[in-house]
Structure 1
Amino acid sequence: MDNGSEKQIAVLYPVGGVGHIGPMTQLAKVFLRHGYDVTMVLIEPPIKSTDSGAGFIERVAASNPSITFHVLPPIPPPDLASSTKHPFLLILELMRRYNEELESFLRSIPGSACTPSSSTCSAPTPSTWQRRQTGLKELGDTPLEFLGVPSMPASHLVTSLLESPEDELCRTMMQILERHADTHGVLVNTFESLESRALQALRDPLCVPGQVLPPVYSVGPLVGTGLTMDKQEGARAQRGVPLLGSKGALPKEQLKEIAVGLERCGQRFLWVVRTPAGSDGPRRYWEQRAEADLDALLPEGILERTKGRGLVVTSWAPQVDVLNHPATGVFVTHCGWNSTLEAIAAGVPMLCWPLAGAEQRMNKVFVTEDMGVGVEMEGYMAGFIKAEEIAGKVRLALDAEEGTRLRKRAVQLNKETQEALEDGGSSQAAFLRFLSDVASL
């Protein structure tokens, strides 16, 4: 921030791969609307894209000319190919190597830059992890109770929090949580009515006894815009196209099972297929994969048999645009927070297929139990979902009474989203409060 004589500048520094760049770009647009200049600082991906088209970062930069994108000078990355460390630890190591370059860039900008943080709501309290002496893996699916969130199985927590407190991954995550507690404030990609209990828990003095946590500003959802619900509701009541897609990639055997399930369900569908997952470690955080070979991956003849009601695309699709299309009736999602918010903002119910590792299983609990806008796909804990489950849940979401309930709830959340983002709404008010608090520092 400057002292008033020059235009104010916000510097955003997304980390952790392309999944953070999307919401950070939406946050940049909020700063722009309030009269700020915005610079997005990026690092060179340590793994080059094999995608035949433009990479995600290039697409974002080209479509947002009002934002200045600055790529830090490349430095040698850690040995991603041979390292046995968890990908998250390798990413943090890479970001630490860029600290000197980042500091040099920040010093070159007039005035002092504001670098806000964007994160999802981490409702399980830090004090829980501070007190424990052992790992939590042995608890399996034992339900755990946390302040502000529904009961959830221990196995659904973020992997790093299940490890022993002496494990490097767990220690690193605890250090990050402790640093968050020492900041002047945290911007959260959510809105008040969506996660009111969790947000209240983070503001509760009991969250970390003996410590005053920084203010939490719920300024989301930070997602792309699309059609409003009053334009969609009538079309969705008559036709539905399940959209299946994820940044994550699935094994070949699971792709074939999905294909059979979609053929059996009898519904129209759009399916985004990516190159099958392998033992690629941190590559999934950075790489835009090559287009999938559908003939090699899918059952013989299935594309011809579903022609006219099914569309399979490879590598990438404009997810926000598709979710906001009137024909999209349900979203089969792996429950990443970005995708979850995009579906909520578009008014689309979800079939939840969470993956392990990050917070996706926790998000599944929030979506199905707290928000009431999704149902789970049975089999995700075993790592394989059968064709009959896929076909049955798609039909349930589009045709059954349960689907009607989900759609009504999706309409309500879409309305609440718009109210939060409009002038005078809770997210707008939270951002103005954040700017006022920053100016008073």
Structure 2
Amino acid sequence: MGGGSDAIVLYPYPGLGHLISMVELGKLLLTHHPSFSITILASTAPTTIAATAKLVASSNDQLTNYIKAVSATNPAINFHHLPIISLPENVNKQNLPFEYARLQIPNILQTLTSNTKALILDMFCDALFDVAKDLNIPTFFFYTSAGRSLAVLINIPTFHRTVNSLSDYGDTPISIPGMPPLPVTTLPKLLFDRSTNFYKSFLSMSTHMAISDGIILNTFDLLEERALKALRAGLCLPNQPTPPIFTVGPLISGRSGDNDEHESLKWLNNQPKDSVVFLCFGSMGVFSIKQLEAMALGLEKSGQRFLWVVRNPPIEELGVEDPSLEDILPKGFVERTKERGLVVRKWAPQVEVLSHDSVGGFVTHCGWNSVLEAVCNGVPMVAWPLYAEQKLSRIFLVEEMKVAVGVKENETGFVSAEELEKKVKELMDSERGEEIRGRVLEFRNGGVKAKEEGGSSIASLAELAQLWKQN
């Protein structure tokens, strides 16, 4: 692996969003520091859990196709394919992301050689941390979300020590330097039940992050100025130093090159500039039929042009594996809105869509890759978080960065038709919407400058490369 040159080994979690960011990091390193060899440990998720086997198999196909495309255009990136492993029967399914990396340890050990200058881990690949430390390999984490959510994540051990449960905070917001006050309800649900293996894995991972050789972030200084200053000054971790923070973003995938004929792009070609609101919620953005119906009514009543990517509702709701649009959307909706709206099933080329002149707004689940893609294309957002750290992201997007309006959901997470209508109109047709658009454009320009020679992200990357060369 990697011949005699200094090898940097990257280990992403086997999910497309995680892999794409790691590949972009590898490309960036090779562009600016070609003396390193880049090896990415590629794996596919096991498909042995029957309920999700079809979804996982489809995701694995996407991973395989993506890796083939990258290998064809970037031969300097070496993909080391880890073997497919079968899961033990007693494996904790909820803790699968962390368990999978642990089960791969024997295979990964064979790939680490004496010329490995650094191992870069995805947060879910934390099982490798102690192994790498035992081998004296400098170990870094590549955190694929915002710097602000990192400031919360590395405080999990502090919360663990100082309160019996996060619920103890009640109505008192959590205070972390460089951050707005955070209602405890915005923290990921998995952090509230300390009895689960998933919580224990998160606690271990956040503990390791705080003592790692460094944390690499897919962000740029201008986008998160206040939080990054606090992190770098060591203010976010009480009573212990913060590891070096390296901001190398924005890292987003380029155009895929083979989607020019996708129906969504053909349709967008015939719409006025900045007139279309794009709704897309990531690979796990699945809604109930009731919620889909409310979304359809909200879009219809808003009067705005829209491009909406609709995934099937949970199969148990309909008992049909591949329902028609008529089965899941209000009767006559597609016909009534065909002059100003397009509904696309399951997938659209998001990067190409967001970079299209006709798109003027983005209703998003607040996944960080999607946020960066919107920012880099100057597209303002409606923030509709669904899971993980996305409620935190909504606070950052709306209150700190001021690049989005946020939807309000009820206690069960349901967003009404009236709420979506109101927020889409506000984004696309109001003074506040114009202010948000101007702010996003400032960040877009800042992101371009960060990646130019002399920019903050290229300087941060150089600092990282220097550290590896000294080892």
Work out whether residues 98 and 201 of structure 2, in 8 Å CA contact, stay in contact via their aligned partners in 1. Answer: no
User: Deviation per CA, 1:132-160, whole angstroms, max 9, x where unpaired?
Assistant: 24111354554221111111210101223
* Larger displacement relative to structure 2 (261-270 or 367-376): 261-270
Work out whether residues 176 and 236 of structure 2, in 8 Å CA contact, stay in contact via their aligned partners in 1. Answer: no
Work out whether residues 5 and 37 of structure 2, in 8 Å CA contact, stay in contact via their aligned partners in 1. Answer: yes
**Residue number in structure 2 paired with 1:152:** 182
Aligned partner of 1:27 among 16, 22, 25 = 25
**Residue number in structure 2 paired with 1:161:** 191
The Cα shift of 1:56 comes to: 2.1
**Residue number in structure 2 paired with 1:221:** 250
The Cα shift of 1:102 comes to: 1.0
Gap regions ≥5 residues in structure 2:
48-52, 121-140, 256-269
Question: How far apart, in 1, do the equivalents of 2:183 and 2:315 lie?
Answer: 27
Equivalent positions of 1:346-425 (< 5 A) are 346-356=377-387, 358-379=388-409, 381-425=411-455
**Residue number in structure 1 paired with 2:286:** 249
Question: How far apart, in 2, do the equivalents of 1:196 and 1:186 lie?
Answer: 16
Question: How far apart, in 1, do the equivalents of 2:345 and 2:197 lie?
Answer: 37
The Cα shift of 1:37 comes to: 3.4
Question: How far apart, in 2, do the equivalents of 1:319 and 1:9 lie?
Answer: 33
**Residue number in structure 1 paired with 2:312:** 275
Aligned partner of 2:83 among 73, 83, 95 = 73
The answer to which structure, 1 or 2, has the higher relative contact order (CA under 8 A, 6+ apart) is: 1
Work out whether residues 292 and 315 of structure 1, in 8 Å CA contact, stay in contact via their aligned partners in 2. Answer: no
Work out whether residues 186 and 216 of structure 1, in 8 Å CA contact, stay in contact via their aligned partners in 2. Answer: yes
The Cα shift of 1:106 comes to: 2.6
Q: Match for 2:308: what amino acid?
A: W
Equivalent positions of 1:170-249 (< 5 A) are 170-225=199-254, 238-246=273-281, 247=283, 248-249=285-286
**Residue number in structure 2 paired with 1:118:** 142
Aligned partner of 1:266 among 274, 294, 303 = 303
* Larger displacement relative to structure 2 (245-254 or 64-73): 64-73
Work out whether residues 244 and 272 of structure 1, in 8 Å CA contact, stay in contact via their aligned partners in 2. Answer: yes
Work out whether residues 250 and 447 of structure 2, in 8 Å CA contact, stay in contact via their aligned partners in 1. Answer: yes
Q: Match for 2:151: what amino acid?
A: A
In the superposition, the TM-score normalised over structure 2's length comes to 0.81
Aligned partner of 1:62 among 65, 68, 77 = 68
Question: How far apart, in 2, do the equivalents of 1:140 and 1:320 lie?
Answer: 40
The Cα shift of 1:11 comes to: 2.1
1:146 aligned counterpart, secondary structure: coil
1:307 aligned counterpart, secondary structure: coil
Q: Are 1:319 and 2:350 counterparts? A: yes
Question: How far apart, in 1, do the equivalents of 2:58 and 2:332 lie?
Answer: 26
* Larger displacement relative to structure 2 (338-347 or 270-279): 270-279
**Residue number in structure 1 paired with 2:335:** 304
The Cα shift of 1:410 comes to: 0.9
Q: Match for 1:115: what amino acid?
A: L
1:123 aligned counterpart, secondary structure: helix
The Cα shift of 1:98 comes to: 0.5
Aligned partner of 1:17 among 1, 15, 18 = 15
| Structure 2 CA distance for partners of 1:311 and 1:436, relative to 1, 3 Å | same
| Structure 2 CA distance for partners of 1:215 and 1:317, relative to 1, 3 Å | same
2:119 aligned counterpart, secondary structure: coil
**Residue number in structure 2 paired with 1:102:** 108
Question: How far apart, in 2, do the equivalents of 1:135 and 1:151 lie?
Answer: 18
Question: How far apart, in 2, do the equivalents of 1:297 and 1:86 lie?
Answer: 30
Q: Match for 2:64: what amino acid?
A: E
Gap regions ≥5 residues in structure 1:
227-234, 281-289
Question: How far apart, in 2, do the equivalents of 1:191 and 1:46 lie?
Answer: 34
The Cα shift of 1:381 comes to: 4.9
The Cα shift of 1:167 comes to: 4.8
* Larger displacement relative to structure 2 (149-158 or 380-389): 380-389
Work out whether residues 355 and 361 of structure 1, in 8 Å CA contact, stay in contact via their aligned partners in 2. Answer: yes
The Cα shift of 1:249 comes to: 1.0
**Residue number in structure 2 paired with 1:45:** 45
1:379 aligned counterpart, secondary structure: coil
Question: How far apart, in 2, do the equivalents of 1:238 and 1:394 lie?
Answer: 17
1:255 aligned counterpart, secondary structure: helix
The Cα shift of 1:113 comes to: 5.2
Question: How far apart, in 2, do the equivalents of 1:222 and 1:399 lie?
Answer: 30
**Residue number in structure 2 paired with 1:230:** none
Equivalent positions of 1:1-16 (< 5 A) are 6-15=4-13
| Structure 2 CA distance for partners of 1:395 and 1:268, relative to 1, 3 Å | same
The Cα shift of 1:301 comes to: 1.7
Q: Match for 1:61: what amino acid?
A: I
The Cα shift of 1:78 comes to: 4.6
2:111 aligned counterpart, secondary structure: helix
The Cα shift of 1:291 comes to: 6.3
Question: How far apart, in 1, do the equivalents of 2:295 and 2:170 lie?
Answer: 28
Number of aligned residues: 414
User: Deviation per CA, 1:368-417, whole angstroms, max 9, x where unpaired?
Assistant: 01100011111165311111211121111111111111111111111111
Q: Match for 2:288: what amino acid?
A: P
**Residue number in structure 2 paired with 1:231:** none
Work out whether residues 330 and 398 of structure 1, in 8 Å CA contact, stay in contact via their aligned partners in 2. Answer: yes
Q: Match for 1:114: what amino acid?
A: A
Work out whether residues 157 and 361 of structure 1, in 8 Å CA contact, stay in contact via their aligned partners in 2. Answer: yes
**Identity percentage over the alignment?**
36
**Residue number in structure 1 paired with 2:135:** none
CA RMSD of aligned residues (A): 2.7
